[in-house]
Amino acid sequence: MPDPSPEPAFIPYVALTRGQKARRFIRRNPTMIAGALLLALMALVAIGAPWLHTVNPVDMNPIDRLKSPGAGHWFGTDMYGRDSYSRVIYGSRISLFVGLVVAALTSVIGLAVGLVSGFVRRLDNVIMRAMDGIMALPDLLLAISFVALTEASVRNVIIALVIPQTPRMVRLVRSIVLVLREQPFVESALAMGARLPRLMVRHLLPNTLAPLIVQGTYVMASAVLIEAGLSFLGAGTPPEIPSWGNIMAEARSYVRVAFWLLLFPGLFLALTVLSINLLGDGLRDLLDPRIARRMR
Amino acid sequence: MSRRNRIAATGCLLAGLLLAWSGQAPAETTIRAVMTAEVKYLDPHWTTADITQQHGYMVFDTLFALDEKGQPQPQMVDTYRLSADKLTYTFTLRDGLKWHDGKPVRAVDCVASIKRWAVKDAAGQKVMARAASLEAANDKTFVLKLKEPYGLTIRALAKEYSYVPFMLPERLAVQDPSKPFEGDVIGSGPFMFAAKEWVPGAKTVYLKFKDYVPRKEPASYYAGGKVVNVDRVEFVVIPDQSTAVAALEKGEVDYLQRPQVDQWPLLRKDPNVGMYRGDIYQMQIHPNHLAPPFDNVKARQALMVMANQEEYLRAIAGDPQNWRTCYSYLGCGGWLETDAGAELLKKPDLERAKQLFAEAGYKGEKIVVMAPSDFATINAASLTTAALLRKIGVNVDLQTMDWGTLVSRRPIKDPPSKNPAGWHIFHTTSGYAALKDPWGHANISTACDKAWFGWACSPRATKDLEELGNLTPGTDAFKKGLAEYHTALMEDVPYVPLGEFFAYAAYRKDRLSNIIEAPYTLFWGMVKK
Amino acid sequence: MLVYVLRRILATLPVMGIVVVFVFLLVRIAPGDPAAIIAGDYATPENIQKIRVGLGLDKPIYEQFWIYLTSLARGDLGRSLHSRLPVSQLILQRVEPTAALALSTLSFAILMAIPLGILAAWKAGSLIDRAVMVFAVGGFSIPIFWLGFLLIYAFSIRLDLLPVQGYVSFREGLLPFIRHLILPTIALGLVYMALLARITRASVLEVLQSDYIRTAYAKGVRPPGVLFAHALKNAAVPVVTTIGVGFALLIGGVVITESVFALPGLGRLTVDAILQRDYSIIQGVTLIFALVYALVNLVVDLSYTLFDPRIRY
């Protein structure tokens, strides 16, 4: 296979400085670095929203409705005269927050349930049936039903996104545990009298972390996208909280008269999801021993 | 044949097949219209949904109808007589009226239909409350005997908005109106409902009823001869405004019943598109009279004095040519226009509003404002109210939901302090027809417990309205009574009127002509090239 | 094999049971009152209560559930609360656009993505590989509705090449059928294509690393032979799995696509039903989707036998 890294075949281990190691790392993982940088930028925007915005995002100013981008309103104004730039900036907070929390929650729940399911055979069957039941329903429909049938709030959207994504995490962790369970070190630990919880935390957990993190990034990307889709269909975060999906939902009728209202939030959303995906891909390439071996 | 020729021949064959598969242009004329909503419910006596009344105008007919001067004219009725003591109405039906299944329309059908309609309709209830008997005399004549004279009887039978007194065949009309009628949709109107082609949520199809006998007079608003000049009308559902407008511009549809305000400039620019004013809506703030502080009239007056109509209307409808301020509960430009007692409404004053709110006993508790995210105009008004309330220091809990949820929460009487699903304020609109008919207009009812959502309570206004109904329009007594009624409304504030904004319909003027301009779209008379 | 199929079908029954109960409860516990929605704007509270009784919604929950179960056993999915039409009829009416869209998207995605993924894996590390990967990640990140609007704006409105909205059945003409489906297919297919391309590339890449491929090279088999005769079949299993798993993604995307392009399909039917609290439709459609998904997974599992002779049921 062609080797992508154009460097001499033999480098003495001692000779590499930290800087050279860093540069080699960057050269070898351009996508991951790009993704990480972009994501960091988005995070900065989200955190810095209170300082970066120009106008209060909820201020209505009907006199100035539907102005095209220009001085004072860099992304124009929407149908209520609200500043689109400020709304998009603030929108990053909701989208990133939802994405992060959903990824974290699914990881924690998936880890806990997956560990138990992989190890405790009696519960395994029941748990997997339940997971199958949840997986039998399409993600978006389940999420829409949950949010539409309770009340629109950020908390409910998060719950609605966690439910369909958790089974995949559970299956992932479980599959790893099933393999690890057979390993000699587990047997010997048990023989030495290690108790189950301690075994799970000290020995199994570290091995599940890498794939978990990678999957977690995909869950985050997925959550951000589905949240936007939910808001677009009218079953997402409450409309007075600016999230990218909400902003685009309101903008959909104005595609012909004010397409910038749809353009900017969509751009931000795509870039954010892209960055998360790139990061995930890079992490996976880095952490998966087989691929890492090949790329070296 | 050489190889090249063979390829060419095959190509031609394929092209020909493709063209043949492309489908033939239909030989019959079809109008494709995008209406305000999808036709879901088919029984206009069962639901007030406007689209169902619209559906009703296609397949059903009425005994009387309003003409362009707003006067009731006979439609299915041929002649009618009122006895000298004003207690007995005798109605005789026209000749040749048929149901869509071919059977003739009989008086018993009309009697049963009136009874069914009057169970739920406010105007109908008023008539039947005074009725001693309503019977068919023979196949073409029926008689209504009242216990006391009621001048609005004919007007009630000509009611043009929810619930419209449509005539149903007896077997449907004897069914309980608290359930939709079971059975095929058979009416006596100028169109037939194509049940087999109905795809709820996507398409509703109406076919010309060939045996319909229109009146001889020319069509005039809802009255006159209903002559159908097309073969089919399809109500197409396009949920997205931009897509609907684009579809009209490209000719994929012929008519848009209610394009959204911001699309109008686009439509006006298109040389193929014509527009007419379909309706005039009044936006209203409805407080919950059972939820403090709005049980105190001062809090409601605060809402009134806080409301700057121009600010609201601009948020709702944008450009000033799309709206007008109006300080009358009963519509501007109509026969009941008056601004008696409207001083508070005319002079918005935020300081005064704050003061009135305090005087009403407001202590900083959360005020729940319900806003529908999927209803652009009402949402705009709700957001404006929330912003204004916050400006005068009110602690606003703006709850956004879809219209369906709002409608489900509206009936809850308890204040939010007792029931988390309770509410303080919601907004809605009324069309022009309703504004001009306070006797039949549910929103303006001040009957306390029996009033509409909000439970406005003003025995004074109720009495004034009742008395007004017995006076003859145009007389001095009428003008005085109207001013009294309106002042009572202004002082007791059942809801806050926020002015009027216009609704336009758009159509392809290179294809459609002869359109009757009315709030409901009347497809008879329309010609399609 | 037949025994396996039967066993699989039996295994889906408890899952279906969970789905039925879950959806029934979820939908009933919700706030939101279909009677109030049906009654309309000008209705009074008494009218709403009358409608509620008329629809049987005032009965206690367990009674409603029993009625539902018994009719389900008879194959009766109930009637829509709003239009009073049988749910099965509504589903049949709307199935065609959704099926057409799903099938065309699947075909489009598979026909485009798999060759691309194979190419990228074959030329791993080259510019083509990077280009495919960028496209794949990018395509996976773009929100479908955004892409849909852009496509409509570009191709329907500006260039006037394709219709803006709607669905035309192939029975009414093959050309209009295709024209109306092109933009929705691209909008929906891009995401699916991106996913498939990635998985295909990863899977083929992994297979190309394995020992037996190196053996084939060592034995002197030429590259095309290695690829087609040896590598692809072994790489197929994860790809086919993804097609099955991605089906759920497809359904979610179908919902949004139908909304943007005004296609009268099952996706929009479900969303409308959810927003209007039409319990019967929600229950019926969810059941159908779950069944179809289970069927797709069964077909995917059965197809493994074609690719991997070691797998036998």
Query: pLDDT tens, A136-187?
Result: 777 777 787 777 667 667 888 899 899 888 988 898 888 888 777 777 777 7
DSSP state of B522: B
Reply yes or no on whether the pLDDT at C57 is more than 50: yes
**Are residues A252 and B240, on separate chains, in Cβ contact within 8 Å?**
yes
Give the mutation candidate from B34, B240, B241, B242 for the A interface (greatest A CB count, under 10 A).
B242
The H-assigned helical ranges of C30-86 are 34-39, 45-54, 61-73
Nearest chain A residue to C251 by CA: give it.
A138
Report yes or no: C250 and C102 within 8 Å, Cβ to Cβ.
yes
pLDDT the model gives residue C132: 87
Partners of residue A149 in chain C, C-beta under 8 Å: 26-27, 29-32, 274
First to last CA, chain C: 5
pLDDT the model gives residue B428: 93
Report yes or no: A275 and A39 within 8 Å, Cβ to Cβ.
yes
The residues with which A83 forms a beta bridge, in sequence order, are A77
The token duo for B224 is 């006159």
Residue C84 contacts B where some CB pair is shorter than 8 Å: yes
Report yes or no: C309 and C303 within 8 Å, Cβ to Cβ.
no
Cα–Cα dist B447/B70, whole Å: 27
Report yes or no: C286 and C27 within 8 Å, Cβ to Cβ.
no
pLDDT level of residue A293 (50, 70, 90 thresholds): very low
> What φ, ψ does residue C187 adopt, rounded to 5°?
-60, -45
Report yes or no: B370 and B401 within 8 Å, Cβ to Cβ.
yes
The token duo for B405 is 């949820």
Do β-strands B30-34 and B255-256 pair in parallel, antiparallel, or remain unpaired? Answer: parallel
Nearest Cβ partner for A136 among C157, C259, C294: C294
- Window 215-244 of B: residues touching C by CB (8 A cutoff) are 236-240, 242-244
Q: How much is the average pLDDT of A244-257?
A: 85
Query: pLDDT tens, B89-104?
Result: 999 999 999 999 999 9
Partners of residue A240 in chain B, C-beta under 8 Å: 371, 383, 398, 400
Reply yes or no on whether the pLDDT at B17 is more than 90: no
% residues pLDDT > 70 (chain C): 90
- Window 37-76 of B: residues touching C by CB (8 A cutoff) are 40-42, 46-50, 52
pLDDT level of residue C218 (50, 70, 90 thresholds): confident
Nearest Cβ partner for B411 among C45, C173, C268: C45
Instruction: Give B402 to chain C, closest Cα distance, Å.
Output: 7
Please name the residues in contact with B130: beta carbons below 8 A apart, sequence gap of 6 or more.
B146, B147, B148, B150
The token duo for B495 is 């809801």
Q: How much is the average pLDDT of B493-498?
A: 94
**Are residues B162 and C47, on separate chains, in Cβ contact within 8 Å?**
no
The token duo for B156 is 């009630």
**Are residues A234 and B262, on separate chains, in Cβ contact within 8 Å?**
no
Q: Map residue B424 onto helix, strand or coil.
A: coil
> What φ, ψ does residue B428 adopt, rounded to 5°?
-160, 175
Residue B269 contacts C where some CB pair is shorter than 8 Å: no
Partners of residue C274 in chain B, C-beta under 8 Å: none
pLDDT the model gives residue B267: 92
Please tell me the pTM assigned to this model: 0.80
> How high is the mean pLDDT of chain A?
80
Query: pLDDT tens, B435-480?
Result: 988 888 888 989 888 788 899 999 999 999 988 888 888 889 999 9
Residue A255 contacts B where some CB pair is shorter than 8 Å: yes
Query: pLDDT tens, B114-164?
Result: 999 999 888 898 899 999 999 999 999 999 999 998 888 998 999 999 889
Reply yes or no on whether the pLDDT at B498 is more than 90: yes
Give the mutation candidate from C41, C260, C279 for the B interface (greatest B CB count, under 10 A).
C41
Nearest Cβ partner for A234 among B260, B373, B398: B373
Give the mutation candidate from A240, A241, A262 for the B interface (greatest B CB count, under 10 A).
A240
Cα–Cα dist B107/B113, whole Å: 10
Cα–Cα dist B381/B428, whole Å: 9
Report yes or no: C200 and C113 within 8 Å, Cβ to Cβ.
yes
Q: How much is the average pLDDT of C125-154?
A: 85
Query: pLDDT tens, B416-437?
Result: 988 888 999 999 999 988 898 8
Give the mutation candidate from B256, B262, B398 for the A interface (greatest A CB count, under 10 A).
B262
Report yes or no: A78 and A239 within 8 Å, Cβ to Cβ.
no
Q: Any long-range contacts for A8-16 (C-beta under 8 Å, 24+ apart)?
A: none
Cα–Cα dist C182/C168, whole Å: 12
Q: Map residue C86 onto helix, strand or coil.
A: strand
Cα–Cα dist B94/B165, whole Å: 17
pLDDT level of residue B508 (50, 70, 90 thresholds): very high
Look at B235 and B200; give whichever has higher pLDDT: B235
**Are residues C251 and A141, on separate chains, in Cβ contact within 8 Å?**
yes
Element (H, E) at A41: helix A30-47
Partners of residue A231 in chain C, C-beta under 8 Å: none
Only one residue has tokens 């069309």, namely: B431
Q: How much is the average pLDDT of B190-203?
A: 90
Contacts of A among chains (3+ CB pairs under 8 A) = B, C
Angstrom distances, CA of residue B268 to CA of B32, B64, B122, B243, B319? 20, 36, 39, 17, 14
Residue C240 Cα to chain centre, angstroms: 15
Query: pLDDT tens, C61-104?
Result: 778 788 777 877 777 787 887 777 888 888 988 898 999 999 89
Report yes or no: B520 and B285 within 8 Å, Cβ to Cβ.
no
- Window 206-245 of C: residues touching B by CB (8 A cutoff) are none
Look at B106 and B344; give whichever has higher pLDDT: B106
% residues pLDDT > 90 (chain A): 11
Partners of residue B46 in chain C, C-beta under 8 Å: 51
pLDDT level of residue C118 (50, 70, 90 thresholds): confident
CA angle A32, A35, A41 (to 5 degrees): 140
> What φ, ψ does residue C47 adopt, rounded to 5°?
-60, -40
Nearest Cβ partner for B179 among C54, C152, C164: C54
DSSP state of B398: E
Please name the residues in contact with C119: beta carbons below 8 A apart, sequence gap of 6 or more.
C128, C132
**Are residues A130 and C145, on separate chains, in Cβ contact within 8 Å?**
no
**Are residues B239 and C268, on separate chains, in Cβ contact within 8 Å?**
yes
**Are residues C26 and A145, on separate chains, in Cβ contact within 8 Å?**
yes
Lowest mean pLDDT across B165-174, B290-299, C172-181, C213-222: C213-222
